[in-house]
Amino acid sequence: MTGWNNRLRLPDFSNRKVLDGHMERLDTHGVSRREFLELASAGAAAAAGAGALGLPAVAVAAPSGKLAFLTAYYRNEYNLIADKAFAAATEAFGIGYTVLDGNFDSQLQLNQFEQQSVVGVTAAIFNLADGSSIRRIANIASANKIYVGNVWGMLAWYTPFDADEYYTLYAVPDEITAERGVTEQLLKTLTDKFGGGNVIGVTGVPGHLTDIARSRGRDLAFKEYPKTKLVGELPGNWNREDSLKATEDLLTRYKDVVGVVAQNDDEAQGVLAALKAAGIVPGQDIYVVGADGTSNGARAIADGEQLATSANSPAFAAGLFTARIYDVTHGWIPRASERLQYWHSIITTKANVGQYLGRFVDNGGVEPFDYRRMSKVLFPTDWDPQAAIVPLDIDHEWGTLPKPQGWTYPQAYVAAKHDGEWEIVTAEYEAHYKIKLDGPSPLKHA
């Protein structure tokens, strides 16, 4: 350790002339003095680790250009919240930002990314309409050295390992577990209040992997509550208007309905509107659950109209991916178990929605996360994921779906699961998880 310290001793950066001189020589364009000091410290720590492993020293540089959030659909509240959070997170990291609406069109999203690659974007985060374009996206990213991440829409059995390091992260909530949990809240309530009964489902976009996962979780819950029955379902396409129409249709088809599983909170808003228009009192005659933890969903829970949601926080997704982009553009290299990740949602009911509202909705403009603290470059020893994150299990996520012909498990993924890295990463993230997702904002008193 003494040798490392001698080799990596930093100049006297408490002297502003020394600091400015180094910044000028290193051409640290767009980096403040404070950021340079943070990066220099992080770079020294990273270089020490690299040296111990016989690797080249890592670079310390501020990313140029901007991060683009390419969302499949800007028409629902989840994506509006995510956009606002991406803007705040990128500002915290000093990264330029733009958002693009794909209008449920996979080809349009691909075209948008191609255009962004031409104008000099350095990173992109996708919420895909479907997974059909991900291979082409990964190829464009690699050719142009653009780091990309993907949340939600995906092509089953295609992973970042099938691309290269520029496809740095695929991460989603564990939707199977989350949707099972929120549906259990509904079915237990129906069993206790009515002795069971008929339930209808308003699903997402047909064929979308998130919808498939949520349906799986929902159906697992029904197996535990035999006095309840899912009598019918129709797609709500992740938005209020289609969900209102779907609910109206389902109510004409099925009688004695006492519960609705809406597979996101925007859909739940459509369900509630349809129930009220039919003279049905939500939270009394029929109980409704959603998913995602939007502002309207949380308020509906507080008002007693919606029973529960599986809140995964759109703002967390923005923070997770922005921090990842910052880190990989500053020399940090993720392990295999950090390129496929789950985070855990909060099952939110009237019992705990007050805390959620105070942090994520009616927060007086206080950001719900310390986005910079998520960075392993800026905080190499005390970074904090600020949510429970674990490696994503491919079989848990896609195990019920057919594998492509000739498909084999990625070598890096298999090695991580068998050489102990999986357990090491899981324990490491758990140990660093100090700022709890269901607690107050870490910036509340700042």
* 440 is a domain residue: no
* 229 is a domain residue: yes
Please check whether residues 293 and 186 belong to one and the same domain: yes
pLDDT reported for residue 290: 98
pLDDT reported for residue 56: 33
Please check whether residues 130 and 106 belong to one and the same domain: yes
What mean pLDDT comes out for the span 181-189? 98
Question: Is the pLDDT reported for residue 23 higher than 60?
Answer: no
Q: How many CA atoms lie within 13 A of 380 on its CB side?
A: 17
Please check whether residues 183 and 164 belong to one and the same domain: no
Q: Is the Cβ–Cβ distance between 240 and 273 less than 8 Å?
A: yes
pLDDT in tens, 105-157: 999 999 999 999 999 999 999 999 999 999 999 999 999 999 999 998 899 99
Domain end residue (candidates: 276, 311, 346) = 311
pLDDT in tens, 264-295: 999 999 999 999 999 999 999 999 999 999 99
Please check whether residues 169 and 318 belong to one and the same domain: yes
Identify any residues that bridge with 229 across adjacent strands, giving them in sequence order.
198
Domain end residue (candidates: 311, 329, 362) = 311
* 163 is a domain residue: yes
* 208 is a domain residue: yes
* 424 is a domain residue: yes
Domain residue limits at 37: 2-52
Residue of 400, 78, 12 whose CA lies nearest to 263: 78
pLDDT in tens, 26-77: 333 334 444 444 444 444 343 333 333 333 333 333 444 599 999 998 888 9
pLDDT reported for residue 16: 56
Residues 6+ away with beta carbon under 8 Å from 273: 240, 244
Q: What is the pLDDT confidence band of residue 17, given thresholds at 50, 70 and 90?
A: low
SS3 154: coil
Return the sign of the alpha-carbon dihedral for residues 381, 384, 388, 389.
negative
Please check whether residues 183 and 128 belong to one and the same domain: no
What mean pLDDT comes out for the span 81-98? 97
What residue ranges in 386-439 does DSSP mark as E strands?
A: 389-391
Domain end residue (candidates: 294, 311, 328) = 311
Please check whether residues 71 and 20 belong to one and the same domain: no
pLDDT reported for residue 15: 53
Please check whether residues 162 and 72 belong to one and the same domain: yes
Q: Which two tokens stand for residue 25?
A: 């020589």
* 389 is a domain residue: yes
Structural domain count, the chain: 3
What mean pLDDT comes out for the span 15-20? 52
Please check whether residues 7 and 122 belong to one and the same domain: no
Distance CA 141, CA 61 (A): 20
* 444 is a domain residue: no
Q: Which two tokens stand for residue 250?
A: 């389902």
Q: Whole-prediction pTM value?
A: 0.85
Q: What is the pLDDT confidence band of residue 7, given thresholds at 50, 70 and 90?
A: very low
Distance CA 323, CA 90 (A): 9
Please state which of the ranges 10-24, 206-220, 381-395 shows the lowest mean pLDDT. Answer: 10-24
Please check whether residues 226 and 241 belong to one and the same domain: yes
Please check whether residues 180 and 158 belong to one and the same domain: no
pLDDT reported for residue 62: 41
Question: Is the pLDDT reported for residue 390 higher than 50?
Answer: yes
Distance CA 433, CA 442 (A): 12
pLDDT reported for residue 21: 52
* Domain of residue 375, CATH code: 3.40.50.2300
Q: Is the Cβ–Cβ distance between 351 and 170 less than 8 Å?
A: no
* 57 is a domain residue: no
pLDDT in tens, 306-341: 999 999 999 999 999 999 999 999 999 999 999 999
Please check whether residues 194 and 268 belong to one and the same domain: yes
pLDDT reported for residue 48: 38
pLDDT reported for residue 65: 53
With residues binned 3-state (H G I as helix, E B as strand, rest as coil), the percentages for the chain, rounded to 5, are 45, 15, 35
| 109 vs 10 pLDDT, higher one | 109
Please check whether residues 119 and 189 belong to one and the same domain: no
What mean pLDDT comes out for the span 412-441? 97
pLDDT reported for residue 354: 97
Q: What is the pLDDT confidence band of residue 193, given thresholds at 50, 70 and 90?
A: very high
pLDDT in tens, 247-272: 999 999 999 999 999 999 999 999 99
Cα distances (Å, whole numbers) of residue 92 to 11, 49, 168, 378 = 27, 26, 21, 12
